Amino acid sequence: MVGMKWEVLHRSSLGRFLGLTFLYAVVLTAGVLFAYGVRFDFDIPTHDRSAVKYVAVYVVALQLACLFIFRQFEGLLSYFSIPDLRRIFFAMSTSALALLVLWLQVKGFGAPPRGVILVDYVSSILGLSVLRLCFRMVRERYLSPQSRVTRRRRRVGIIGAGDVGAALVRELVSKRGLGLQPVAFFDDDPSKWRSRVHEIPVVGPPESILDNKLNLQLEKVIIAMPSASARRIGEIVGILQKSHLKFESVPSIDQLATGKVRVSQLRDIEIEDLLGRPAVELEADHIRSILTDKVVMVTGAGGSIGSELCRQIAAFNPQRLLLVEQSEVQIFVIEQELIERGHSGLILPLVADILDEVRMRGILQRFRPHVIFHAAAHKHVPMMESQPAEAIKNNSIGTARMCDLALEFEVERFVQVSTDKAINPTNVMGASKRLAEIYLQALSASSPILTRFMAVRFGNVLGSSGSVIPVFKKQIAAGGPVRVTHPDVTRYFMTIPEAVGLVLQSASMGEGGEIFILDMGQPVKIVDLAKQLIELSGLRPDEDIEIQFIGLRPGEKLFEELSHSGENISKTTHPKIYRLNAQPENLKRVESILNKLAEDMPSLEPTQIKLRLQQAVPEYKPYLT
């Protein structure tokens, strides 16, 4: 059976090779004859006519050999792109150069005239390119499955006449099965107006969509501006909502950069597009110096922050990336994603609970990580408010034990992923994270050389499992109401990739004992966020979807803060990262508090636990029932 398959494959390859040889030979022979005709004004002298035949034979043979060397017999004839054109150019340039060398060696005797070589060089490139293009056009227009689709295509306008918009038009034209017919471009750049991109007119700015005089009869609009600012995207969305046209967007610039998605894989506009922030410039060399060829551990690797840490760390080629996660379901998801990205050789998933000291000790003893990013945490505020012992066990005691192990096994850097809710905390989750910071700083002050301990605080991240956005989306899908705690409540928001990139940058800057805080931009009113989500769903706030105010939940603040009274903020070398300077606590005192909490918590009521926590974190203002 294997022999029969190989024979069929061999025959197929041989047939394609012979077919390509014949077609290329015809085009190249025609090119030689055309070159002679041009050289002699299509009146070739009698004494040169006999030479044309044998010259054409060895010239065409040389050109075919060059095409073979530059792998033009391997590709399918109907697939033609810039790399194929480049190889044709180099193949014909090589053959023309060889003919010129021949002419110089024989002083023109038996070699084609220089004018013939030059014209043949140009005509052969044009002829082969036209041949390939013709086959491609036939395939795309008549032979592809999309070309046989007969349903009516919807008329679409494209906002953005740049490279992404042009690529989108090419895909929509070639893939008729997508059912979309581009009819107009809209662009902010006045220099592009009244011009054409792939025969599609650029009619004006996006605002002209509201101009009924254009009579474009659009049925849909695609936003092809993946690098546009969030403010401009918001303005365009407002225009499209007024026009009552359906609209979608091309993938984000990050998704397009990976090469795993195409511009024609359209998506809905997300709230992240409207709240997005300018791209953060990272000092990649500094990050690379602490990650490349190092053993790196990420705890909580299956969570929103932990999984993004794994993605970005893997790109810096560590020696090994240890994925530590309690949930086997979550760790499986990120493991499979990293395998698909080509990182199977460096990742190692480890199902483990950070509270299991024996298990964690065994992992550190065996793999000896150089850097630990500690992202494992309980972070849901209302849930932790009702069961404070769990928050303290995981967020405070668990982090302290991980710090101890890092010091014991001489880990170079230990980075705690913290939260802005640790600042003047009013909830157990924030206070438990603050207590972990206190221990980390105290331990760092007592052992400043062995391990560099640091923490990084930031606010809410868009798209995380604890974000309010998925909750709002479910409420909108159910027809409302959308429940907001308070009309004035505000929060800082960052995208997950931005937050994690700055965590890595902070890790590269830390000398030990620092708490870094990230520039979180301007706070956003949650009620405004809810209204934007409702409008993105094609509905109207308060008319189609009711917004209800249900009151602040236990432990919630109206406004998040940047620092508490005992901390001074100073700049770092990175404009998006600040350093918080505070006097570290006495290590023995903090250890005593943690040990006493761990010993007494099983017998304490939630209110008693909160009061004990307040003794450890004086700025904590507990919510007592």
Number of domains forming the structure of the chain = 3
For the chain, counts of helices (H) and of strands (E): 21, 21
**pLDDT of 212 above 70:** yes
Q: Tell whether 468 is covered by a domain.
A: no
169 & 85 share domain: no
pLDDT at 10: 46
431 & 577 share domain: yes
In 3-state terms, what secondary structure has residue 411? coil
Q: Which of 202-211, 245-254, 429-438, 541-550 has the lowest mean pLDDT?
A: 245-254
pLDDT at 7: 47
Span 460-478, mean pLDDT?
Answer: 75
Contact 437, 417 (CB under 8 A): no
119 & 70 share domain: yes
Q: Provide the domain limits for residue 388.
A: 284-460+493-520+561-616
| 112-169 tens-digit pLDDT | 888 888 888 888 888 888 887 787 777 666 555 545 554 567 888 888 888 888 888 8
pLDDT at 241: 83
9 & 130 share domain: yes
Tokens coding 304: 């929103």
Backbone angles phi, psi at 370, to 5 degrees: -85, -35
Is 421 an active-site residue? Answer: yes
pLDDT at 5: 40
| 498-529 tens-digit pLDDT | 888 889 999 998 888 889 988 777 777 888 88
Q: Tell whether 530 is covered by a domain.
A: no
In 3-state terms, what secondary structure has residue 516? strand
Catalytic residue among 220, 393, 421, 576: 421
Contact 487, 549 (CB under 8 A): yes
Tokens coding 3: 């022999």
Q: What is the DSSP string of 117-174?
A: HHHHHHHHHHHHHHHHHHHHHHIIIIISGGGG--SPPEEEEEE--SHHHHHHHHHHHH
100 & 51 share domain: yes
What percent of the chain clears pLDDT 70, i.e. is strictly above it? Answer: 84
Q: Tell whether 62 is covered by a domain.
A: yes
Span 418-434, mean pLDDT?
Answer: 89
170 & 251 share domain: yes
242 & 300 share domain: no
The CATH number assigned to the domain holding 187 equals: 3.40.50.720
Task: Name the pTM for this structure.
Answer: 0.66
CA 500, CA 298: separation in Å to the nearest integer? 12
Q: Tell whether 471 is covered by a domain.
A: no
Domain boundary, last residue among 111, 143, 175: 143
Q: Which of 22-26, 496-500, 533-537, 555-559 has the lowest mean pLDDT?
A: 555-559
CA 292, CA 65: separation in Å to the nearest integer? 44
Omega before 45 within 30 of 0, i.e. cis: no
Q: Tell whether 540 is covered by a domain.
A: no
Span 199-212, mean pLDDT?
Answer: 86
105 & 173 share domain: no
Domain boundary, last residue among 212, 237, 269: 269
**pLDDT of 262 above 70:** no
Span 168-188, mean pLDDT?
Answer: 82
- Mean pLDDT, the chain, integer: 82
Q: Tell whether 279 is covered by a domain.
A: no
377 & 447 share domain: yes
Closest CA to 282 of 497, 464, 514: 497
Q: Tell whether 537 is covered by a domain.
A: no
Domain boundary, last residue among 109, 143, 177: 143
252 & 288 share domain: no
501 & 447 share domain: yes
pLDDT at 77: 58
Q: Tell whether 112 is covered by a domain.
A: yes
250 & 291 share domain: no
Span 75-90, mean pLDDT?
Answer: 73
